[in-house]
Structure 1
């Protein structure tokens, strides 16, 4: 009786593993589909240029960076690390997800504690400074200056609107609007400057005076996308749901990252067409990574790929993107408590969507079947 029960459990485990292993046509089909969607993110940079001059765009970018942080970190602790240690197959009830959720909880609690303490500290300093400096009584001259300033503000409104309309033709303005995405993608790098010491002539067939940082960004982004494709290919070779989970995390990170790439390339001296072309070509290295990831997955090298990708995802989210979230929140706290909590809400909204989505996919990975 005991032997029959053990054999029944073993057979059920084998059936579950066979069910998880997708066919080669599914691996290649789903892999190329999601890598294509990820690569198209590189072309979305130009589509958001008309919205850059609006406050809604900056708020959307804040939420998107929060979404990228939550998705990358959650993908690492809920999917990549468990797959690297083969926990998904050995633990049928996925109890390891509780520990993974506590890992994310530790990151979030310390992030919130630091932010709230900073908001309280800035509010106290502002209150002390207001108490020390008496407010001056308005005089006739100050009232006149105020009226002149108000009139000047109304006169400058059409200029501001004109500036927003012409943002597409101003690489410097594009860079300033994309500063949040740039810092989140490249670790708070300084603004690249194109040398204007000599007169530069652009002739067809000859090298153009494009800053070295542009080629560094293209090469670095190509390598980054190659590793993304590697992890996606290995993930789809393991199961369709794991591949979709990793692809969703990469897609959430790629959109603000590609916006940052696009702005840096323009400001480094590239034209609009050049920036779009090179950005798309660097994104296409994801296909090469996908092919290699699928092939390596067939020879049981997926666990090493998952471990490497988990480290990369954690580095990008916690080292590159979280510092930019902290900087944006600190700038908002210096303005007002209301503004600070508004930014904190947008960041938490993005992180909550990313973490919840990846957690649900990991929790119900045995119940969801795409075949």
Structure 2
């Protein structure tokens, strides 16, 4: 419960600070750091943890494949159903059309975030049941990738006519769905421990998909050497954070 609460509220608060202060450079740096943390968490910790269990290897790889394809289809569905209009975006609509569309998008963002956070709570619960150190690292990974995403959500909400206070409060409420998911996931998975390796693999597929399909393409838009070096350094820092946390917890 502590991990899910901190992961939700901390990421929302950090995103609000960055959004309201318009610290665009911090957002770009956060994306690079997130890539390192997400890939290291999934490839160096969660997947090895799952494959070292007694679960069937072929079934785990099938879960990984299904997860990657599933996240692809979910994103396609979201893109097809999500409105990206905002007032003054240059499209030739009648006056007030874009504001109305942005308003609908704001509520869609909140509903989507609530479901997403509920799933994150289940993943954190599964990670803690597998290994407390993996639970901590998974929480850190979720915080890292949530901050850039929540910044984009805040911008949509503010454009939709939400005040800063309302946008923050509604996002915090949505983030608490991770606590609900964490509690339900803990009691469900505790009684069905054989499912834990598959949940870990599914979570890893999500982390890998987010890093490779969403975050890395953003980084590729900045192709100069001057912009690439900080990206590579921050990816390495993200990997180092996961290795440090893994080493510290294993040492105990």
TM-score range, shorter chain: 0.7 to 0.9
Partner of residue 82, structure 1: 48
- TM-score, with structure 1 as normaliser: 0.53
Q: Which of these residues, 203, 216, 220, is aligned with residue 309 of structure 1?
A: 203
Whether 1:234 and 2:112 are equivalent positions in the alignment is no
Contact 1:39/1:283, CA 8 A, preserved across alignment: yes
- TM-score, with structure 2 as normaliser: 0.76
Pairwise mapping of residues 163-178 of structure 1 onto structure 2 (< 5 A)? none
Q: Secondary structure at the match of 1:59?
A: helix
Q: Which of these residues, 213, 225, 233, is aligned with residue 341 of structure 1?
A: 225
Distance 1:58-1:193 versus aligned 2 partners, 3 A rule: closer
> How many residues are paired up?
219
Whether 1:73 and 2:39 are equivalent positions in the alignment is yes
Point out where structure 2 has 5 or more consecutive residues left out of the alignment. 56-77, 88-92
Partner of residue 16, structure 2: 46
Pairwise mapping of residues 96-115 of structure 1 onto structure 2 (< 5 A)? none
Higher helix share: 2
What is the CA RMSD across the aligned residues, in angstroms?
A: 2.8
Q: Deviations over 1:146-170 (max 9, x none)?
A: xxxxxxxxxxxxxxxxxxxxxxxxx
Q: Secondary structure at the match of 1:48?
A: helix
Q: Deviations over 1:178-199 (max 9, x none)?
A: xxxxxxxx98x88422576359
Q: Deviations over 1:301-330 (max 9, x none)?
A: 211211111111111111111111112x14
Once the two structures are overlaid, the 10-residue window that deviates more, 256-265 or 353-362, is: 353-362
Distance 1:68-1:277 versus aligned 2 partners, 3 A rule: same
Max Rg structure: 1
Deviation, 1:365, is 4.6
Contact 2:19/2:151, CA 8 A, preserved across alignment: no
Partner Cα distance (2:111, 2:198) in 1: 24
Partner of residue 97, structure 1: none
Partner Cα distance (2:83, 2:234) in 1: 26
Contact 2:110/2:171, CA 8 A, preserved across alignment: yes
Partner of residue 176, structure 2: 284
Q: Secondary structure at the match of 1:233?
A: helix
Partner of residue 215, structure 1: 107
Contact 2:36/2:235, CA 8 A, preserved across alignment: yes
Q: Which of these residues, 18, 24, 30, is aligned with residue 64 of structure 1?
A: 30
Partner of residue 361, structure 1: 245
Q: Which of these residues, 116, 133, 155, is aligned with residue 224 of structure 1?
A: 116
Distance 1:293-1:79 versus aligned 2 partners, 3 A rule: farther
Deviation, 1:209, is 7.9
Partner of residue 197, structure 1: 95
Partner Cα distance (2:187, 2:86) in 1: 42
Partner Cα distance (2:169, 2:41) in 1: 30
Pairwise mapping of residues 106-185 of structure 1 onto structure 2 (< 5 A)? none
Once the two structures are overlaid, the 10-residue window that deviates more, 32-41 or 60-69, is: 32-41
Whether 1:35 and 2:4 are equivalent positions in the alignment is yes
Deviation, 1:232, is 0.7
Q: Which of these residues, 108, 129, 151, is aligned with residue 259 of structure 1?
A: 151
